[in-house]
A and B are shown apart, each in its own frame.
Chain A
Amino acid sequence: MFQYDAIDAAMVADRNAEFRDQVSRRLSGELTEDQFKPLRLMNGLYLQLHSYMLRVAIPYGALSSAKMRALAHVARRWDRGYGHFTTRQNIQFHWIKLSDTPDVLDYLATAELHAIQTSGNCIRNTTSDPFAGAAAEEVDDPRVWSEVIRQWSTFHPEFTYLPRKFKIAVTASPRDRTAARAHDIGLVLRRNREGRLGFEVIVGGGMGRTPYIGATIREHLPAEHLLSYLTAILRVYNRFGRRDNLYKARIKILVASLGAAEFARLADEAWEAMDRPRADLPDVELARIRASFGLVDFRTLPPRSERFEAAKGDKAFARFARNNIVPHKVPGYGIVQVSLKGIGEVPGDCTADQMEALADLAERYGHGEIRVTHEQNLVLPHVALDDAPAVHAGLAAVGLATPNINLVSDMIACPGLDYCALANARAIPIAQAISETFADPDRAEQVGELKIKISGCINACGHHHVGHIGILGVDKKGEEYYQLTLGGSGAEDAAIGHVLGPALSADRVADAIDKLVDVYLAIRQPQERFLDTYRRTGVGPFKAAVYQDAHQA
Chain B
Amino acid sequence: MNVVAKQKQQYVTIKGTKDGLTLHLDDRCSYDDLLKEIEERLVKQAGVAPDSPLVSVHLKMGNRYLTPAQEEEVRALIRRSKNLVVDSIESNVMSKAEAIEWMRKTEIVPVSRIVRSGQVLHVEGDLLLIGDVNPGGTVIAGGNIFILGALRGIAHAGYAGNKQAIIAASVMKPMQLRIGDIMSRAPDSKTDEGNEMECAYIDEHNQIVVDRLQLLMHLRPNLTRLERRM
Q: Do A and B come from one complex?
A: no
